[in-house]
Amino acid sequence: MAEETILQSTERTSGREALRKNVQAAIALAGAVRSTLGPKGLDKLLVDDSGGTLVTNDGVTVLESARVEHPAAKMIISASSTQDRVARDGTTSTVVICAEMLRNAWQLVRQGVHPATIGRGFALAEKFSLESLNEIAVKASSEQILSAIETSLAGKLDLSMEKHLAKLSFAAGELVHTEGRADPTRVKVIKQSGGSMLDTTLITGLALAKSCIHPEMKERGGPGSILLLDGGLERKQPKFETKLNITSTGMLDAFRKAESKALLTQIDNIVNIGCDLLVCKEGVDEEARQELANRGILTYRRVEKNDLDLLSRVCGANLAPDAGRATKDDLGAFIKTREELRGGINYWILDAEDSGATLITRGSTDVILDEVERCFADGLGVACQLLEEPLLLPGAGATQVALSRRLRRHAESVPGREQMAIEAWADALESIPRALAENAGYDGINALLKLTAAHNDKGDFIGLNLETGEPTDTISRGVLEPLKITRQAISGATEAAISILRIDDVLWAQMGAQVPDEVQQQLQGFGAE
C-alpha cells in the first residue's frame, strides 16, 4: 500500500527540515520572552478574548497566555511550566537557554554532526554542570536569603514594593517552615481592593473575612477544640414538593416543636463531645444561634469549602457531615482565635499548630492585585526553597559564565564529536548574561567578553552590574539566586532540547470538517436549477 494512501490528509515534514522548523519555533518562542529577563526586563501587555488586560514580565505567564500551536514550542512551554511549579523562578531562563541550545545544535547538524551525538554531548554537559554547581554554591545566611528573594522579584514591581514583598515572603516562609520542610500551601492569600500595594500585610495564622454569628458570643482565647461541619444547623427543607394538611394550630405547633427539638439535639451533641468552636459550611437558624450563644460555643457560618479543607489541615479536624452524628474523633485543636478590623473589613483569625499565615493584598485595581499575588507566590517559593536548602549561587550571569569556563576545559578531555556538543551547550549558557546586558541597554557581546575576562582574574562570583554594565562582585552586592532554581532550569532546558533533537518526523493531521458523501452529492446539485 502506498504511503500517500496511509497518510491521507496528513502533512508530513521529515529529516533535517523537521529539525529546522522545530528549532525555528523554539527561537521564535524565546524571542517572545527574552526581553523580560532580569531586573531591567520589559513588560508584556496581554489581552484575552474578552478584552481583559494583564501587564506582566513573568515569562511563564506570557507563554501560557499565548496561543501556541507548534508542538515543539509546546514542549518548551511545558518545561517552563514545570520550572514555575518546582522552583517558582527561572522560567524565562529555561526557555532562552533551551532555544540557544537548539540554535547551536542546528549549526552542528549543518556541519554533519548527527542529532544523537549532540544529544549525548548535551547529556554529558548537563551532568558535569550539575556537579560543578555544588562547587560554586555558598551557604546562605538570613540576610542573603532575603537578598535572593529580592533578586527573584527584581523588575516585576517598583523597588519599594519589591523590598516589601520580599520581607513578607521571607516572614511567611519562616512561619510555614517546620522540621526541615517549608509548605507554601499553608499561606492563604486574600485580595482586598483599595489602598496602596504597600498596604499589603501578613497575618500570623489563618484569616477569613468572617464575623461570629451572634454578638453575645465570647471570643475564646484558646486553646480549645474545633468542629468543622459540612452543612449547617438549619431546619431541613424537603428535597421534593410536599403538601402538609394542617387541620389545627396544634398540629403546626407540634411540627415546629419537632424541628426545634431536632436542632437542639444536634446542639446537645456538639456540646457533649466538647466542641468550643463550630465552623459551618452552610447557614445557622436564628434559634440555633441563640442556643449556641447560651452554650458558649463560638460559631462561624457560610465558610467556603476550600477554607474548610484548609482548616481541616491546620487543625487536624475531620469534616463532619452532620452535627448530630459528630464524634470526639472529628474534633480538631486550635491555639487561639480572635477578630480584627483591617481596611474596613472584619477578619476572623485562627492560630493552630500548623495554621501558617495569611497575606492580605491591597491595590487599586484587580490587575494590580493579581500581579501582587503572583509576585508574592514567586517570592514565597524562593523563600521556602532556601529555608529547606540554604544554598545560593552568584547571580547576574556569574554562574553561567563560571559553568561555561569549566565546561570548555572539560570538553578537551572528551573524545569524539560529543566534544563539539559540550562546547555548544556551554555557549548556550552564555545567552543569559548577553540577554541581561541587552535588556539593560548594553552590547551583549562586549558585556560577555568583559565578564569572561573578569572571571579569569577574580573568580566565579563576578557578575554583571546592570547599572554600569561593568563586572562586579555579586556576593557583596547581594545579587544571589537559589541553587535549586538554576539546577532545575539547566535540567529542564536540556531535557527539552534533547527531546526536540530526537524528532525527525512531524505529522500534521488536517482537522478540517468531513462532509458525508450523500450530503456532498446534495450540495453539488444545490442551485443547479
Which grid coordinates are listed for 527? 442551485
H helix intervals, 284-417: 286-294, 305-315, 366-388, 398-411
| pTM for the whole structure | 0.74
Residue with cell 520550572: 83
Question: SS3 of 465, please?
Answer: strand
Residue 133, pLDDT score: 92
- pLDDT for 351 equals 86
Are 213 and 205 in contact by the 8 Å Cβ rule? The answer is no
Beta bridge pairs of residue 187: 357
Q: Cell triple for residue 130?
A: 550539575
Distance CA 180, CA 288 (A): 44
Distance, CA of 206 to CA of 351 (rounded, Å)? 6
For the chain, the structural domain boundaries read 10-139+393-508, 142-205+357-389, 207-351
- Alpha carbon of residue 347 to chain centroid: 26
Coil, strand, or helix at residue 341?
strand
Give the pLDDT confidence of 468-516 residue by residue, as tens digits: 989 999 888 888 888 988 999 999 999 999 998 888 776 665 544 444 4
**Residue 150 CA: distances (Å) to CA of 61, 67, 114, 194, 422:** 20, 31, 43, 25, 33
| Residue 13 confidence (pLDDT) | 66
CB 350 within 8 A of CB 337: yes
* pLDDT at residue 498 in the model: 92
CATH 3.50.7.10: does it fit domain 207-351? yes
* Whether domain 10-139+393-508 has CATH 3.40.50.300: no
Q: Kindly give the parts of the chain with pLDDT less than 50.
A: 1-2, 238-240, 252, 511-516, 518-520, 522-523, 526-529
**Among the listed residues 110, 111, 75, the one whose alpha carbon sits nearest the alpha carbon of residue 494:** 75
State the pLDDT at residue 242. 54
All three cell numbers of 108, joined, read 552542528
Q: Extract the C-alpha cell encoding 302.
A: 457560610
CA 108, CA 472: separation in Å to the nearest integer? Answer: 34
Cα separation, 526 vs 529, in Å, equals: 8
Q: Using a CB cutoff of 8 Å and minimum separation of 24, what contacts does 298-303 make? A: 298/212, 298/217, 298/218, 298/219, 298/220, 298/337, 299/212, 299/213, 299/214, 299/217, 300/208, 300/210, 300/211, 300/212, 300/213, 300/348, 301/213, 301/232, 302/210, 303/208, 303/210, 303/279
Could you tell me which CATH number the domain at 142-205+357-389 has? 3.30.260.10
The dihedrals phi and psi of 145, each to the nearest 5 degrees, come to -60, -45
563576578: which residue's cell? 462
- Catalytic residue set: 58, 91-92, 378
Grid cell at residue 471 = 563586572
| Phi/psi of residue 39, nearest 5 degrees | -65, -20
- Could you give the dihedral angle defined by the CA atoms of residues 201, 213, 222 and 175, in that order, rounded to the nearest 10 degrees? -20
Closest by alpha carbon to 383, among 187, 198, 159, 146?
A: 146
Give the single-character DSSP code of 250: H
